[in-house]
Amino acid sequence: MEDVKNHITQLQQAFTQELAETHSLEALEGIRISYLGRQGKIAALMVQLKHATLEEKRILGPLLNTLKAACESALLTKKKQLEELMQSEATQQERYFDVTANIPANQQGSLHIYTHLIEQLENIFISMGFTIVDGPELETDYYNFEALNIPADHPARDLHDTFWLSNPGFLLRTHTSTVQIRSMQTIKPPLALFSTGRCYRNEATDATHEFMFMQGECLLVDTHVSIANVLATAQTFLQRFFEKEDLTIRVRPGYFPFVEPGFEIDASCPFCTQGCSVCKRTRWIELLGAGLVHPHVLQSCSIDPEKYRGFAFGFGLERLAMIKYNITDIRLFHSSKLSFLTQF
Ligand code: DAH
């Protein structure tokens, strides 16, 4: 019995000491559970008491009950003290605050580089009198190939690694030249149109190739259109885009079934005169596919090729941006890399 009495005294002392060292409500709750919980130290003593004699129970029972009540009331007092302390600390903190504290700036979103590019391009073409048009990304064989003078057996189809849909005749457009047909079917010439949009090609991805990319397409149809018009338009556009008034262009023959003649337009390197890493030391940068609209294309849109002529050119948005902003990997455009995205 003396053992149990000693145990009670020790328990009381340990409890008082632990309580004194407690400075938080969480720790206080820990003490409550460890002493007064159902599996706690006092409950364990109560269990032991079951095996004691009646005489022992008469002495130890009240002792244990007193211990339990003392612990409960001490816990309650301590809890009140801690709550008051916390309350006064909170008030203190509100009263004294550091006006010079460095608060991290709010994370602010920025427009995506594609949004910036489209805005720049559209502004340039609108300023030259062009109208902005749009077309669907999900297209048919007719708009992507057939009406653009690329019939089913045409070898040029092999150059477009097409994503065909399981629905026969449907595909994801491989270029924005589709918009030429859609627009000419609904808008009567004279017309001057510009369009940007996503295109898809089923090819392996690397630093300069993506299976999804953006193109820009320019089309003008009128009665007296010549190569001089396409060259002047292309040069003005590129000068404004690269913000370089003395940018010049050169023309090389190029084959695209929907134009005749067809050519490729290079711009003089906007960054050097002697050759640099951007132009691969050639001083020229290949940028646009262009030409005079093929009579077959005009005919497929019920426009008389004897009366009207047109010019068209197309380009990749990413390529333009990669040169202008020195971006080395096309995959960044669709990445979620904030260090890249927040620059624009
Ligand atoms: N659609 C062509 C391509 O994706 C680019 C192009 C070339 C567009 C010549 C044109 C053009 O309008 O006249 O490669």
Mean of the per-residue pLDDT values for the chain?
A: 94
| Centroid of ligand 1 to alpha carbon of 290 (angstroms) | 6
The enclosing H or E element of 27 equals helix 25-36
Q: How far apart, in Å, are the Cα atoms of 197 and each of 91, 172, 322?
A: 58, 12, 17
User: Counting runs of H as helices and runs of E as strands, what totals does the chain give?
Assistant: 11, 9
> Has this prediction a pTM greater than 0.85?
no
Shortest-distance Cα residue to atom 3 of ligand 1: 175
164 phi and psi angles, rounded to 5 deg: -85, 145
- Asked whether residue 188 carries a pLDDT value surpassing 90, the answer given is yes
Pick from 210, 258, 263, 319 the residue to mutate for probing ligand 1's pocket: most ligand atoms within 8 Å of its CB.
258
Confidence class for position 158, pLDDT limits 50, 70, 90: confident
The per-residue pLDDT for 92 is 83
Question: Residues of 144-162 as b/e, b for ≥16 C-beta within 10 angstroms?
Answer: bbbbbbbeeeeeebeebeb
Pick from 150, 177, 225, 311 the residue to mutate for probing ligand 1's pocket: most ligand atoms within 8 Å of its CB.
177
- Asked whether residue 194 carries a pLDDT value surpassing 90, the answer given is yes
The percent of the chain in helix, strand and coil, each rounded to the nearest 5, is: 45, 20, 35
Residues 229/311, Cβ–Cβ less than 8 Å = yes
Q: How far apart are CA 184 and CA 197, in angstroms?
A: 17
**Residue 3 CA, distance from chain mean position:** 71
Which tens digit of pLDDT belongs to each residue from 101-153? 888 777 778 899 999 999 999 999 999 999 999 999 999 999 999 999 999 99
Per cent of the chain over pLDDT 90 is 77
Pairing of strands 131-132, 138-140: unpaired
Q: How far apart are CA 235 and CA 222, in angstroms?
A: 20
Structure tokens given for 132: 């902005």
Helix (H, G, I), strand (E, B) or coil at 217: strand
Confidence class for position 50, pLDDT limits 50, 70, 90: confident
Structure tokens given for 334: 């669709």
Pick from 256, 287, 294, 296 the residue to mutate for probing ligand 1's pocket: most ligand atoms within 8 Å of its CB.
256
Strands (E), 188-268: 191-200, 212-222, 249-253, 259-268
Say which DSSP state 45 is in: H
Please name the amino acid found at residue 26: E
Q: Which atom of ligand 1 is nearest to the CA of 219?
A: 12
Residues 222/188, Cβ–Cβ less than 8 Å = no
| Centroid of ligand 1 to alpha carbon of 267 (angstroms) | 16
Which tens digit of pLDDT belongs to each residue from 267-311? 999 999 999 999 999 999 999 999 999 999 999 999 999 999 999
Residues 272/289, Cβ–Cβ less than 8 Å = no
132 phi and psi angles, rounded to 5 deg: -85, 130
User: Where is mean pLDDT largest: 44-48, 49-53, 68-72, 223-227?
Assistant: 223-227
The per-residue pLDDT for 6 is 87
